[in-house]
Structures are given as structure tokens and as C-alpha cells.
């Protein structure tokens, strides 16, 4: 969270959400669905990018600098070390994800009317961003410390606070609340993405981690289609879809946009799927780190 790139990612996401909301469109009657799909796709892309650069900074670069050996000189297990690093990166990505989700809900109010923008809400939106940067800058000037950390937290808090005031004043009618359900599923998708990327970050250098992250992202978008091209029994096909990167599992925006419900069981099964992938990745990462330590000795 203290890396300036994280703040750049944060500001980029929030401003792009607003830009997507104010761009004129020709999807008469479906402008909100189009906005939802665009914003959710942006959220997942930026979250994935956050995991890629987070792992490069916290895992890959630390191992290359020998910081892991220093930490392992203390009474801590390899699994705890790898889990702690993942939790640190996840906390940062989760902060960004929640902030982007609040930004989307607010953007849905700005663009709710298919003919006119809510200029008052737009002014509050941009004003909250400017105020957050100003408050963080003032705090940094007076007390020092990491500007990026303070700015990221302040940006989330102020945007969420002003959004809450808007919600209390105007009521919940003009907000796309289905975005929350989609956002929860995308958070599980980001966990699954991190599970596939973490073992690579333990072995490879920064350039390879970045390359693999890009390939994973795009392969997960088309893997469902590629698997369907192969004639497999239904049960085997389901197993293959579960073991390979497949982000379609976590995309429920289309179903919600069509008015269909997503059962609690689907959320639970998707969550279990993501957690199991993560557990395997943490175990593999811990074993890989232990072997690297033995080779160093």
C-alpha cells in the first residue's frame, strides 16, 4: 500500500469509473448494463494488476534480495511467511476493490438517467477525490510518513463517507445495487487469480511474473470457450474447468442484469473453490521457499 504505484492504480480506477459514466453512449435502455459491465471488467483488471505488482514487490523482489533468509532466521515457518506476504498483498488489493466498488455505485447514480447526467453528484464525486488528496498532502506535510499509504486510506474513507451522505439524502433508488453482488464474486475471482500467480512469484524473476500474470488474465477469459471445443464427458469437463484459470465462474453480472437470481449456494461453492486454490498455492509456495533455503545452505 505504501508503493506510489498503488496510489496511481487507485486514482486511475476511480477516475476511469467516472469517465465511463459520463461518456455518451448509444445503448438506449441498456446504458446502465453497459456501464456495469465496463466498470466491473475494469475492477477485475486493476485488481489483477495489483496482485501482479504486489507479488513482484513483496515476494519476488524480497526473495531476490535475500530478505526471506533474514526473516527465516527467526522462529517462523515457511507457510506463515508465505501466508503473511499473501495477506499483505490481499489487504491492499481488497482496499482498492472496495474503493472501486463504492466508486461504481456512485457512478451508477451519476449516469442513472439515460438522457442527463447528475451534475451535482458528479461535482461531489470529483470534489471528494480532490479533498482526499489535499487532506493526505496536508497530513504528510505536517507529520511526514508515507504519503501513498495515507492517500490510499483517505481516498477510500472520504469517497465512502460522501457517498454515504449522498445515499442518506437522496435514497437508494438510483443506485445499481446488483453491482455489490458482482463485486463480491469478482473478489473471489481475484483470490483465484492470486492462487495461480503466487507459486510463479516464488520461483521466477519480475519480468516473468509480469508476463505470466498477463497470460493468466487473458487465458482465464477464454479458457471456458477453449475447454468447450474439446469433446470431454460432462464430469471431466467440470473438473478441468475447476483446475484451470477460469474467470467466467466468477462473472455473474450478465445473470443479474437479466433479472435472474444467484443462489447463496453458488456464492458458497465459488468461495470454497477460490479458498481451495489459494490453500494449494500457499502450500506449494511454502515448499518452494523451503527448498530454496536448503539449496542456499
Closest CA to 190 of 274, 127, 82, 288: 274
CA angle, 20 then 25 then 26, to 5° = 155
- In this prediction, residue 240 carries a pLDDT of 85
Angle between helices 178-203 and 78-110 (to 10 degrees): 150
* Sequence ranges of the domains in the chain: 4-296
pLDDT per residue as tens, the chain (297 positions) = 778 899 999 999 999 999 998 888 766 667 888 899 999 999 999 999 999 999 999 888 877 776 656 555 666 778 888 999 999 999 999 999 999 999 999 999 999 888 888 999 999 999 999 999 999 999 988 988 889 999 999 999 999 999 999 999 888 988 989 889 999 999 999 999 999 999 999 888 899 999 999 999 999 999 988 888 887 787 888 888 888 999 999 999 888 877 788 889 999 999 999 999 999 999 998 888 877 654 544
Sequence-distant contacts of 63-71: CB under 8 A, at least 24 apart: 63/202, 63/289, 63/292, 64/205, 68/289, 68/292, 68/293, 69/293, 69/296
Closest CA to 250 of 113, 47, 29: 47
Q: Taking a C-beta distance cutoff of 8 angstroms, is the pair 69, 54 a contact?
A: no
Amino acid at each position: 500500500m505504501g508503493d506510489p504505484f498503488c496510489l496511481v492504480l487507485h486514482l486511475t480506477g476511480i477516475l476511469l469509473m467516472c469517465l465511463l459514466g459520463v461518456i455518451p453512449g448509444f445503448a438506449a435502455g441498456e446504458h446502465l448494463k453497459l456501464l456495469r459491465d465496463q466498470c466491473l471488467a475494469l475492477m477485475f483488471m486493476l485488481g489483477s494488476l495489483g496482485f501482479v505488482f504486489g507479488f513482484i514487490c513483496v515476494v519476488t523482489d524480497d526473495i531476490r534480495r535475500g530478505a526471506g533468509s533474514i526473516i527465516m532466521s527467526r522462529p517462523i515457518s515457511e507457510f506463515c511467511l508465505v501466508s503473511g506476504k499473501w495477506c499483505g498483498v490481499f489487504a491492499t488489493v481488497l482496499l482498492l476493490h472496495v474503493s472501486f466498488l463504492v466508486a461504481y455505485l456512485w457512478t451508477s447514480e451519476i449516469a442513472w438517467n439515460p438522457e442527463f447526467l447528475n451534475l451535482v453528484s458528479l461535482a461531489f464525486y470529483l470534489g471528494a477525490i480532490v479533498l482526499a488528496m489535499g487532506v493526505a498532502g496536508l497530513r504528510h506535510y505536517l507529520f511526514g510518513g508515507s504519503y501513498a499509504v495515507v492517500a490510499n486510506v483517505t481516498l477510500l474513507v472520504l469517497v465512502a463517507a460522501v457517498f454515504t451522505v449522498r445515499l442518506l439524502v437522496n435514497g437508494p433508488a438510483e443506485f445499481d445495487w446488483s453491482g455489490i453482488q458482482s463485486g463480491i464474486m469478482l473478489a473471489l475471482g481475484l483470490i483465484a487469480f492470486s492462487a495461480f500467480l503466487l507459486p510463479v512469484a516464488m520461483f521466477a524473476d519480475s519480468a516473468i511474473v509480469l508476463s505470466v500474470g498477463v497470460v493468466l488474465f487473458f487465458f482465464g477469459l477464454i479458457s471456458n470457450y477453449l475447454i468447450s471445443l474439446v469433446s470431454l464427458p460432462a464430469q471431466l469437463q467440470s473438473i478441468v474447468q475447476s483446475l484451470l484459470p477460469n474467470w467466467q465462474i466468477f462473472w455473474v453480472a450478465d445473470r443479474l442484469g437479466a433479472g435472474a437470481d444467484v443462489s447463496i449456494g453458488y456464492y458458497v461453492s465459488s468461495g470454497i473453490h477460490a479458498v481451495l486454490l489459494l490453500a494449494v498455492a500457499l502450500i506449494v509456495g511454502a515448499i518452494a521457499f523451503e527448498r530454496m533455503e536448503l539449496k542456499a545452505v
